[in-house]
Amino acid sequence: MNEIDPAHRFSMDAVRNYEAPADGDKAGGINDVARQVASQYRRDTMSPIMVSGVLRMVEFAMLFLSGLCVYFYYVGFFNYLAWQYPLAIAATSFLTVVLLDVTDCYQIAALMRPLANFGRVLLVWAGSFALMALTAFAIKASEDYSRLLFGTWFIAGFLLIFGLRLVMSTLIRRWARDGRMERRALIVGGGKAAEQLIRSVEKQPYNDIRICGIFDDRNDKRSPPIVAGYPKLGTISELIEFARIARIDMLIVSLPLTAESRVLQLLKKLWVLPVDIRLSAHSNALQFRPRAYSYIGSVPMLDIFDKPINDWDSVAKRAFDIVFSLIGIIVFSPVMLVTAIAIKIDSKGPVLFKQKRHGFNNEIIEVYKFRSMFTDRSDPTAKQTVTKNDPRVTRVGRFIRKTSIDELPQFFNSLFGSLSLVGPRPHAIAAQSHNLLYNEVVDGYFARHKVKPGVTGWAQINGWRGEMDTNEKIRMRTEYDLYYIENWSMLFDLRILFLTPVRLLNTENAY
């Protein structure tokens, strides 16, 4: 058994530091066919993980409430509520959800086939009751429970669970058919290897993978234009734009693991995308430890990169943004009101300045700031960096820029969802360093857009804020941003958020 660790073989640092040979492939716009294919996919999709997660909560609530309803029916709503009944009902409901999860009853394949899983669900529900009865017997409390009450709940609870699963199977099939619940995948690399991979994935019943096309740098002689019924839509560089438009979830690289230099060359281009990247292992002769693989049905995959801040993490981060943005707006509302009045008195023009910047997945967003420049000298494209004693900046502007008060309106960006409170700071779409765009200065610069940009970030509290007048400064800011993405956690966000006011006292680079 080969014990090579694939995560080590293709680590983030290995990909970023890999010097890919020049292959003459320049990034460009995708062709009309690829653009038409990309634009047809719905944008209001649902994650299968989120759907099954919500179902867990709904089933727990349904079981718990049905148990209470049965209790109130037999005992009466206004009679004394014995604490052991709600406790036993809650414990049994929770245990049932846990056991259903352990037995894979929340997998999409199981949810789409409720009749085939009838016996498994019934066994789990009966097992939960058996464990409850055994616990009551062990603590000598079994005589306190009504057999009629719990017998009624057993029947009612199972009918509710199974009825819900019948409804869910219909909904999931409809969502899958309409393209609302799916994981969109692109095949990287064509030829026989891609054909075998596609055939293997399509053989998996009830999988939620939709293959959207194939991208390969090789010409049509070496890589056919159509593989297993799927068109080759362009080159690897064109894949990046396609993936952003079509909201792709996963890239599956269909190259042999032994072609390490070629795989690294591809990953060097693809790691900037906020997607899962998997290396197909179904035809590899090398074998790894079982835990090294993930699976699409029974097709083994090696996990190269995971999409950062995904599924439930994104829900937690969004809740974090809403709560703390509202707190920030309330706390700083007097400061924002005084600032708006001062700007209006100091110079002509609007109080707010709106600037287009790169957001999540390179989408263009509009960011709010208090206006700090004279209206006729403002630079919405940010081609010219603000420098010390810049004549374009007003008197009030100098103060609010040094203290970062000009950024306070971005609490509203965070509340509405175009920004996060914590993340890589968004840069203007035409921001430059020595007449070079930032992405021309820093290799892999767009990888900082794999997550939603933030009002404050790890780079800012480490001193990399303000004027970006050298290539080294933008490189260092990008390094700190990538560190944040690779090491994100809710505690990390809290740490950055609470350190921000302290670190803003250093105004050395803020002009």
pLDDT in tens, 375-412: 777 766 666 666 677 788 888 888 888 888 889 999 99
pLDDT of 18 reads: 64
- Measured CA to CA, the distance from residue 459 to residue 483 in angstroms comes to 9
Tokens of 220: 């049509």
Tokens of 181: 């619940």
Beta-carbon contacts of 296 under 8 Å, excluding residues fewer than 6 positions away, are: 201, 204, 207, 209
Q: Which residues share a beta bridge with 277?
A: 251, 305
Q: Which residue intervals of 253-409 are DSSP H helices? A: 260-270, 312-346, 395-402
- Measured CA to CA, the distance from residue 41 to residue 255 in angstroms comes to 27
Picking from 87, 73, 48, 371, the residue whose alpha carbon sits closest to that of residue 208 is 48
* Helix/strand/coil for 277: strand
147 exposed, middle or buried (CB, 10 Å; 0-12, 13-18, 19+)? Answer: exposed
Phi/psi of residue 365, nearest 5 degrees:
-120, 165
pLDDT of 19 reads: 65
Task: Output the pTM of the full model.
Answer: 0.79
- Measured CA to CA, the distance from residue 125 to residue 97 in angstroms comes to 9
Query: Which domains are assigned to the chain?
Result: 6-19+28-43+182-307 (3.40.50.720), 48-178 (no CATH), 312-505 (no CATH)
Half-sphere exposure of residue 265: CA atoms within 13 angstroms, side-chain side: 15
Query: How is 428-468 classified by DSSP, letter by letter?
Result: BTT-EETTEEHHHHSTTGGGGGSS--EEE-HHHHTT--S--
pLDDT of 94 reads: 95
pLDDT of 20 reads: 58
Tokens of 360: 């999540």
Written as tens digits, the pLDDT of the chain (511 aa) is: 344 444 445 566 666 666 655 544 445 578 888 888 888 887 778 888 889 999 999 999 999 999 988 888 877 655 555 667 788 889 999 999 999 999 989 988 889 899 999 999 999 999 998 888 888 777 666 555 667 888 899 999 999 999 999 999 999 988 888 878 888 999 998 888 888 888 888 887 777 788 898 998 888 777 788 888 888 888 888 898 899 888 899 999 887 766 777 888 888 888 889 999 988 876 555 555 555 677 776 788 888 888 898 888 998 999 999 999 999 999 999 999 999 999 999 888 899 988 888 889 888 899 999 988 887 777 666 666 666 777 888 888 888 888 888 899 999 999 999 999 999 998 877 776 666 777 777 877 888 889 999 999 998 888 877 666 677 888 888 899 999 999 999 999 999 999 988 877 665 655 4
Picking from 120, 67, 116, 71, the residue whose alpha carbon sits closest to that of residue 94 is 67
pLDDT of 166 reads: 95
